[in-house]
Structure 1
Amino acid sequence: MAFSADELRVLRRALATALNPAPLQDDDVQDCLRLAESVDESVAEAGRLRAFLLADLVRYRQALPGSLTGYLELLQDALAAGYDPAADDLAALRALRHHPAAGALLARCQVLAERSVRTRLARVSQAQSPSRTLAAAPRARLLALPGGRASDDGGAGAGAGAGAGAGTPAKPAPKPPAPGERPVPKPSEAFPPRRRPVPPPPPEERVAG
């Protein structure tokens, strides 16, 4: 795409305004609009020319080997315009590798095709990498804290108190006395229950006796 001297001046003023915003005059605004329309038309024309070039390339490829010279020229123009060689182009060039120009063009197309495949694979891997990271994230393991039901010291008490309820703590087992040590008396032994006094017999029973 080439710009005329007037279009370059308009483009320079537009860039200066973008860097340093300032009010534009009506003439400057109209010049920028006309330049934008010219750029849009050039882009559309380039797209049409590219479509015609690729259509001619297909026709010349289908007419090989008689159209070898024209096909090689069209393929070089397409590559210069950013065309990625297709599998049909590589197959045609392999069949014509005995021709020096076709052999050199085949080596160039193979490099471009490999680069294009790597670029597409990199884009696919980048698009799939977040989902793979989420899917491959390991699940957190639940670890038992010390002092719970699984501890060695409270294992027997937990099993005994399971029937009484989950929130009822188990009573510790009594500690046996050491050899030669007097056992601690039970509350019933230290404080025996008081016996109720026997009421006296009725007066009739005392007189009779």
Structure 2
Amino acid sequence: MAFSADELRVLRRALATALNPAPLQDEDIQDCLRLAASVDDAVREAGRLRAFLLADLTRYREALPGSLPGYLDLLQDALGAGYDPGVDDLAALRALRAHPRAAGLLERCQVLAERSVRARLARVSQAVAPGPRVRLLALPGGRAAADEPKPATPKQPPAPTKRPAPKPSEVFPPRRRPVPPPPPEERAVG
């Protein structure tokens, strides 16, 4: 990210104010807010550019081996921008290792992927690592308290009893056969 000369002056004034707090003029505050908005815009644009680059990299990877030169260029640009190669990238480069440039990128990607995995494992182990042991303190009670009379505790309601599971015939009663209609002679009354 590059700053213009005016933005550098605003940044220098903001840093000086942060180190030596003093009241700011309204114009200085507006300049700082404009600079913050410009930095936010640049960060958003960098995110959009990164997403586009990664989508383009995926398209080229899916079109391999026909897109080999373009894929290698895009992967190199993505690695320069801080991209951690994924499993798909490593598999594609392994399949193309006969190409000297792909073999060189494969070595670089393997080193980066290993660093990334080690960093993730270190973060996980730090999060899971137990803290320092705490001394256990004696609580009042213990054996001496067992000899003392215990105060009456209020009775708790009994635990609800478990109902047995219903049988299928209770849930789904048997189907009743329909009663056949009476013969036509009986229907005619009269």
Common fold by TM > 0.5: yes
Letter in 1 for 2:16: A
Q: Name the counterpart of 2:57.
A: 57
The higher relative CO (CA closer than 8 Å, separation ≥ 6) is in: 2
Alpha-carbon displacement from aligned partner over 1:67-102 (angstroms, at most 9, x marks no partner)? 000000110111111110000000000111111110
Matches within 5 A, 1:136-155: none
**Partner of 1:83: helix, strand, or coil?**
coil
What is the aligned length?
A: 138
Shift of 1:26: 1.1
Q: Name the counterpart of 2:71.
A: 71
Q: For structure 1, which runs of at least 5 residues remain unmatched after alignment?
A: 141-165, 167-209
Q: Name the counterpart of 2:87.
A: 87
User: Residues of 1 paired with 2:51 and 2:128: CA distance?
Assistant: 32
Alpha-carbon displacement from aligned partner over 1:163-194 (angstroms, at most 9, x marks no partner)? xxx9xxxxxxxxxxxxxxxxxxxxxxxxxxxx
Q: Name the counterpart of 2:167.
A: none
Q: Name the counterpart of 2:7.
A: 7
**Partner of 1:130: helix, strand, or coil?**
coil
Alpha-carbon displacement from aligned partner over 1:100-145 (angstroms, at most 9, x marks no partner)? 11000000000000000000111111111127x77xx9x99xxxxx
Q: Could you list the structure 1 runs, at least 4 aligned residues long, displaced by more than 3 angstroms after superposition.
A: none
Structure 1 position 126 matched with structure 2 position 135: no
User: Residues of 2 paired with 1:31 and 1:102: CA distance?
Assistant: 48
Q: For structure 2, which runs of at least 5 residues remain unmatched after alignment?
A: 138-146, 148-190
User: Residues of 2 paired with 1:6 and 1:70: CA distance?
Assistant: 39
Letter in 1 for 2:84: D
User: Percent identity among equivalent residues?
Assistant: 80
Alpha-carbon displacement from aligned partner over 1:40-76 (angstroms, at most 9, x marks no partner)? 0000000000000000000000000000000001101
Q: Which has the larger radius of gyration?
A: 1
